[in-house]
Amino acid sequence: MSRFSTRTDFTRTLNPLAQALERHRASGLRLLDLTESNPTRVGLPTPDPAVLATEGAFTYEPDPLGLASARQALVADFAARGARVSEAHLVLSASTSEAYGWLFKLLCEPGDNVLVPAPCYPLFEHLARLEGVQTRSYPLPRAHGFGLDARVVGDAVNDRTRAVLVVNPGNPTGHFLHEGELAVLADVCASWRLPLICDEVFAPFAWDAEPGRVATVAGRPLPMLTFTLSGLSKSVGLPGLKLAWTHVGGPADLRDEALARLEWMADASLPVGTPVQKALPALLAHAPVFQAAVRERVRGNRQRLLAARRPGALWDVVPAEGGWSAVLRIPRAPGEEATCLALLDAGVLVQPGYFYDFGGGAFLVLSLLPQPEDFAAAVEVLARTLGP
Ligand SMILES: Cc1ncc(COP(=O)(O)O)c(C=O)c1O
């Protein structure tokens, strides 16, 4: 019998694409990496590191919810985006991933499930599994351009479902939640008495200003318990600083009970460092600089991608509204893996759609963050390889 838990028994064998990548790297041949989404490696602006050297950076006055000064800075940041929230309803964590772990512990018994979108970044299944929780997918319909169709969410609910998770805008699909969809989603959650977990890490990265998009669900009078998640890893492009936040909203009795339990969980490990909390006002002040640079990078690279597509090509760029990625629809034959392998042979790395649980067709996912010259060189190879 194994000495280890089944929930940590993750597959570690390399798939053919990962094996081919290892071989390519070992060969020393040039690789144009269109999977690069680490914001600290693509020449984007960072704040002056001196912002971390605040007075009091070495003091230790733990508050499980996070330092009041840091939570007040977040209240001002929400207000600047038109959302009125209270610092008493905010909980800091080291990352949104950690916050997910707390929320799954808060809401689920082992064996329960949470609803997650498909396609989506493959994070939630692993985080849930580590808490003994399962994920059940609800489809983001292709006909909807992979935007949310709140009516289909209810079809995925079963008697062990404990929460609905929404990513606004989707990663990698880049569609925002719209006001009408939120209204339907709120009805679905309220009728099944399910909390909503809304992941807004990519919300600052809308590509244009179309009206009717939900910028945040925080601070709204929603009928269900609502958790809104974001953090520095995307909003300021600094995942290494380890600071994220969860806003808790919804009916007051449920909200206060959830906050008391989250406070207790946070108190068990007090995971957020003092220097980053003290520096939060300065880091949030830098956010607009970083976000504008990302929007400019993404806009330019998306144009380069669209320009590389020759008329009549059998591949297409799937429409989207925001985020850091592009999704390409490609012919079913030879399919995702064979296409990724052919591109790797030609020196370009992209991700296959199956990595993100795309169904009903063949897709590639690429990051729009790489430096423009690398991106331009890569899409030239991409267009040549995909043909015609
Ligand atoms: C949609 C989404 N949410 C959350 C995360 C994780 O963010 P964090 O670094 O705060 O754990 C990611 C990571 O890429 C993500 O794509």
Tens digit of each residue's pLDDT (9 = 90 or more) over 318-330: 999 999 999 999 9
pLDDT one-digit tens code per residue, 300-312: 999 999 999 999 9
pLDDT one-digit tens code per residue, 170-208: 999 999 999 999 999 999 999 999 999 999 999 999 999
In whole angstroms, what is the distance from residue 166 CA to residue 169 CA? Answer: 9
CA of 387 to the centre of ligand 1 (A): 34
Binding site membership of 141 for ligand 1 (Cβ less than 6 Å): no
CA of 123 to the centre of ligand 1 (A): 8
- Judged against a pLDDT cut of 70, whether residue 1 lies above it is answered with no
pLDDT for residue 270: 97
Burial class (CB in 10 A: 0-12, 13-18, 19+), 335: middle
Outline where DSSP puts E strands in the chain: 32-33, 90-93, 113-118, 134-139, 161-167, 196-199, 226-231, 244-249, 316-317, 325-330, 348-349, 351-352, 362-367
Domain ranges of the chain: 13-44+287-386, 57-285
97 CA closest ligand 1 atom index: 11
- Judged against a pLDDT cut of 90, whether residue 64 lies above it is answered with yes
166: helix, strand or coil = strand
Average pLDDT of the chain to the nearest whole number = 96
- Judged against a pLDDT cut of 70, whether residue 239 lies above it is answered with yes
Q: Which residues pair with 230 in a beta bridge?
A: 245
Binding site membership of 239 for ligand 1 (Cβ less than 6 Å): yes
Binding site membership of 123 for ligand 1 (Cβ less than 6 Å): yes
CA of 201 to the centre of ligand 1 (A): 7
Given strand 113-118, what is the order of strands in its sheet? 90-93, 244-249, 226-231, 196-199, 161-167, 113-118, 134-139
- Judged against a pLDDT cut of 80, whether residue 215 lies above it is answered with yes
pLDDT for residue 387: 86
Binding site membership of 119 for ligand 1 (Cβ less than 6 Å): no
pLDDT for residue 212: 94
The token pair at 229 is: 């998640």
96 CA closest ligand 1 atom index: 10
Q: Which among 93, 96, 229 is the best mutation to test ligand 1's pocket, defined by most ligand atoms within 8 Å of the CB?
A: 96
Binding site membership of 47 for ligand 1 (Cβ less than 6 Å): no
167 CA closest ligand 1 atom index: 1
Say which residues have a Cβ less than 8 Å from residue 352's Cβ, sequence separation at least 6: 17, 336, 337, 339, 340, 363, 364, 365
Q: Which among 97, 102, 176 is the best mutation to test ligand 1's pocket, defined by most ligand atoms within 8 Å of the CB?
A: 97
Q: Which among 100, 171, 230 is the best mutation to test ligand 1's pocket, defined by most ligand atoms within 8 Å of the CB?
A: 171
Q: Which among 123, 146, 243 is the best mutation to test ligand 1's pocket, defined by most ligand atoms within 8 Å of the CB?
A: 123
Question: What global pTM score does this model have?
Answer: 0.97
Split at pLDDT 50, 70, 90, the class of 113 is: very high
> Regarding the domain delimited by 57-285, which CATH topology (the fold level of the hierarchy) does it fall under?
Aspartate Aminotransferase; domain 2 (3.40.640)
pLDDT for residue 348: 98
Chain centre distance of CA 88: 25
- Judged against a pLDDT cut of 90, whether residue 151 lies above it is answered with no
pLDDT for residue 360: 86
In whole angstroms, what is the distance from residue 266 CA to residue 283 CA? Answer: 23
pLDDT one-digit tens code per residue, 40-50: 999 999 999 99
- What's the average model confidence in pLDDT over 84-103? 98
In whole angstroms, what is the distance from residue 104 CA to residue 91 CA? Answer: 15
233 CA closest ligand 1 atom index: 9
pLDDT for residue 144: 75
pLDDT one-digit tens code per residue, 256-274: 999 999 999 999 999 999 9
13-44+287-386 classified as CATH 3.90.1150.10: yes
Q: In this structure, what are the phi and psi dihedrals at residue 60, rounded to the nearest 5 degrees?
A: -135, 100
Binding site membership of 170 for ligand 1 (Cβ less than 6 Å): no
CA of 112 to the centre of ligand 1 (A): 22
- Judged against a pLDDT cut of 90, whether residue 359 lies above it is answered with no
**Cβ distance 342 to 330 under 8 Å?**
no
DSSP state of 7: G
H or E stretch at 127: helix 124-130
CA of 232 to the centre of ligand 1 (A): 10
- What's the average model confidence in pLDDT over 17-36? 96
Binding site membership of 233 for ligand 1 (Cβ less than 6 Å): yes
pLDDT for residue 143: 81
